[in-house]
Amino acid sequence: MPQDELFQVADQVVLVSGGTRGIGRALAEGFALRDAKVWITGRQSEAAESAAAGIKTSRYPVRGLGCDVEDGDQIRSAVKTVVSTEGTIDTLLNVAGVNRRQRVETYTDADYDFIVNTNQRGSFLMAQAVGREMLAAKRGGSIINVGSLNTHGPLKAVVPYAMSKNAVVGMTKGLAVEWGPAGIRVNCLDPGFILTDLTQKLWSDPTMQDWGQRNTPLGRLGRPDDLIGAAIFLASPAARFVTGQQLFVDGGFTAGYAWPIPLD
């Protein structure tokens, strides 16, 4: 499709970690339809390949790779595969993430490790592997991590998740400082309430839906494709002087508080 040069991502090599479903899949399609060369990953290679084949695209077919971000070797190998095929990676969308909602007293060590190893350690190892390639290529690049509105203020019953996402924000700022001189921009996209597999059960409750809509100034829950514009912006020349920032895409949820009764 024709594009404003400022927001151009055509011909960029874009790696989407966690692109088989939900937000990652929507972002992969958003970039593919704007002529980027998109690779998506998920834990299973077959699922990743079949998800890639189902993504709408314009110029280049989307490629799928198995890469479990709990395993550093799989991360480094997936990044090598993309770089040896495409020659480079211009943009990383560091999306893969998980959650388990429960009272803090009930988390097992295994629950904690599952959440933190995926969201925090996995995001770090992925950014590190891609950053190494970007540094070696000396062409700069853009890394877009995915945080959460839980970094603004945690919701109840997600303590390890909120901890891991705050770590992702800390990492974003640290990497921006460390890699800025090499022209690598690192930012964090913070989704609000987005309807995906991760949140479907929560939002299937009508009381929850009503609460979410009433407390979101734009009056609705989010869709995965609501994130596309912000991600394109962060990956494009329009954001060439933007690094180390958090961008909330949440319909205004974190802007303030709604009254429970109409006051007008």
Interface residue list for ligand NAP (CB under 6 A): 18-24, 41-43, 47, 67-70, 95-98, 118, 122, 146, 148, 191, 193-194, 196-199
Rounded to whole angstroms, how far apart are CA atoms 15 and 1?
Answer: 21
**Which CB, 66 or 183, lies closer to ligand NAP?**
66
* Both structure tokens of 78: 């997936």
- The nearest distance, CB 172 to ligand NAP, in angstroms, is 13
13-17 vs 63-66, strand pairing mode: unpaired
**Which CB, 68 or 86, lies closer to ligand NAP?**
68
**Which CB, 53 or 136, lies closer to ligand NAP?**
53
Q: How many helices (H) and strands (E) does the chain have?
A: 9, 7
Of 1, 3, 31, residue with least CA distance to 16: 31
- The nearest distance, CB 264 to ligand NAP, in angstroms, is 30
Helices 159-179 and 123-137: crossing angle in degrees, nearest 10, is 10
- The nearest distance, CB 245 to ligand NAP, in angstroms, is 16
**Which CB, 19 or 160, lies closer to ligand NAP?**
19
- The nearest distance, CB 141 to ligand NAP, in angstroms, is 20
Exposure on the CB side of residue 241, measured as CA atoms within 13 A: 0
Catalytic residue list:
161
Rounded to whole angstroms, how far apart are CA atoms 156 and 244?
Answer: 27
Give the CA distances from residue 205 to residues 160, 199, 200, 235, in Å, rounded to whole numbers and listed in that order: 23, 11, 9, 36
- The nearest distance, CB 1 to ligand NAP, in angstroms, is 24
* Both structure tokens of 247: 């961008």
**Which CB, 70 or 86, lies closer to ligand NAP?**
70
